[in-house]
Amino acid sequence: MDTHYADRPLIINGLNTIIILLLLCIASPGCTVSREKPNIIFILIDDLGKEWISCYGSSSVRTPNIDNLAGEGMLFHNAWSMPQCTPSRVALLTGQYPHTNGWINHFDVPRWGHGARFDASVNNCFPKILRRAGYHTCAAGKWQVNDFRLEPEAMMEAGFDEYCMWTGGEGGNESISDKRYWDPYIHTREGSRTYKGAFGPDIFCDFITEFMEKHRDHPMFIYYPMVLTHTPFVHTPEEPEAGSRFEKHRAMVRYTDLIIGKILSSLESLEIKDETYLFITTDNGTTRGMIGERNGVFISGGKAYLTENGINAPFIALCPDREEGVESDAMIDFTDIYPTLLDLAGLDISPDDQIEGASFASILRDEEAGSPRDWILSMGGHPAMIGADGRVKNYFSFRDRVIYDGRYKVYIDTLKQIHRIYDLKKDPYETNNLVEDLPLVQPLIEKFRAVLDGLPLEDHHPRYDPLDQGFYNIPPEKLNSLSQRIHKSYQNMVRLATSEEYVDLKD
């Protein structure tokens, strides 16, 4: 008799025993499994340009914790966000450009209503994939693309097990819900309420560090879209005497740095820093009207503009088992975050997701230094409209945008014409438009025209199944009038500030 076949029942029984033990281990709350997937923490600062981070050359403020992080990790020089809140955040979540996911214009969902929402059932949302793969997921801070009064479990539907979110200003409830700093109005799994006497950023930070401690033995994904440093400008617990707009903004930047330091300290005390990728970036440039000094140049706040101060975001990554203090000129944009984080987690991307970004995980792992792509793109911002069907519509059928190839940056208008070209290697502040220099730019125009021809002929509108109820809907004529007024006066570039303007603001 063949003893190999005779032993099969014993082998099968042994395998069954192992499987049962593994299942019992997974089901047991006290059981830890050797982690194969890294932790991922993604911090998105609100409304802050490079001119307010000292490792990027700011002399207006010191950010020692962010600087130390850059010294231990990687600092990117060519990372593009979108120019404003909604298009940046949805591009990050979906891995798609605004012209594809449809969220081109800004739309403040809880404030403006009309049944609009980020619909995680019809849009990509990478946290859902991480959760299905075994990650424990949480989010804290600002969301603003769902109304929690109507969708109290919207964060769970987007892929987050636990959450602690400022509600956003809720239409009809602004006097309470507008508060994100002092006496903040915050939504958790227990509902929404005011935290009297508390400072919102402290609540969010404590929630995250407690989540880290609770799940230290399991792979975690933590999404921290900060409320800092968005207006209103406020004093902080560390600088209660800050009085002017400039002083309050600077205090808020310093507090942002303080919180990042607390998260880094938690990683170290929990002994999981070497198992964690941590990213810090911003959703767009600094609030308009604020001025910061960077490398001796006075930079106006670039929020909602397509100039570099509006979209060339600070981007720093802490990478386990990689050389420290590396700087990279690789081109990345916000559509690359989705595929990169899944790549780091060892997960494949479904072709059905129609991801437009490219993973730069190989750069983070020190496997290669070059950019994973030939160009990056940014577009979007300013208020959307309400169409005759009651749905959110973008103002233009083809929104103006910028594309960069690693040296040249082109501006494309709403008629799909290239009307500005800048050599960012020689002209980083975009002062010399080369578009009339035909011998130089004609090959460039043809090159960028080929990229443009590969984009949709018309931009998509947001995809969602509308809610059939609401607490407040902004009158369509009011929102549409605002959208029209802003778009008609819209300039997509902002000039440099002067030293006199900077001194006046500080004083």
Residue 328 reports pLDDT greater than 90:
yes
In which band, very low, low, confident or very high, does the pLDDT at 404 lie, cut at 50, 70 and 90?
A: very high
At 9 the pLDDT is 41
Residue 327 reports pLDDT greater than 90:
yes
Residue 215 reports pLDDT greater than 90:
yes
CATH 3.40.720.10 domain span(s) along the chain: 39-379
Residue 14 reports pLDDT greater than 80:
no
At 298 the pLDDT is 97
429-480 residue pLDDT tens: 999 999 999 888 999 999 999 999 999 999 999 999 999 878 899 999 999 9
262-302 residue pLDDT tens: 999 999 999 999 999 999 999 999 999 999 999 999 999 99
Residue 491 reports pLDDT greater than 90:
no
Residue 498 reports pLDDT greater than 70:
yes
- Cα 345 to Cα 130: distance, rounded to the nearest angstrom: 8
Residue 324 reports pLDDT greater than 50:
yes
Question: Going by CATH, does the domain composed of 39-379 fall within 3.30.70.260?
Answer: no
Residue 21 reports pLDDT greater than 90:
no
Phi, psi of 46 (to 5 degrees): -100, 120
Closest by alpha carbon to 98, among 450, 392, 410, 446?
392
Written as one string, the DSSP assignment of 28-80 is -TT------SPEEEEEEESS--GGG-GGGTBSS---HHHHHHHHHSEEEEEEE
At 35 the pLDDT is 53
Question: What percentage of the chain reaches a pLDDT higher than 70?
Answer: 93
Using CB atoms within 10 Å of the CB of residue 275, give its burial: 0 to 12 exposed, 13 to 18 middle, 19+ buried: middle
Instruction: Enter the pTM of the model.
Output: 0.92
- Cα 44 to Cα 8: distance, rounded to the nearest angstrom: 55
Residue 189 reports pLDDT greater than 50:
yes
Phi, psi of 281 (to 5 degrees): -150, -175
At 481 the pLDDT is 96
Residue 12 reports pLDDT greater than 60:
no
The hierarchical CATH code for the domain 400-458 is: 3.30.1120.10
23-46 residue pLDDT tens: 444 443 333 333 589 999 999 999
CATH 3.30.1120.10 domain span(s) along the chain: 400-458
Considering the chain, what is the average pLDDT of its residues? 92
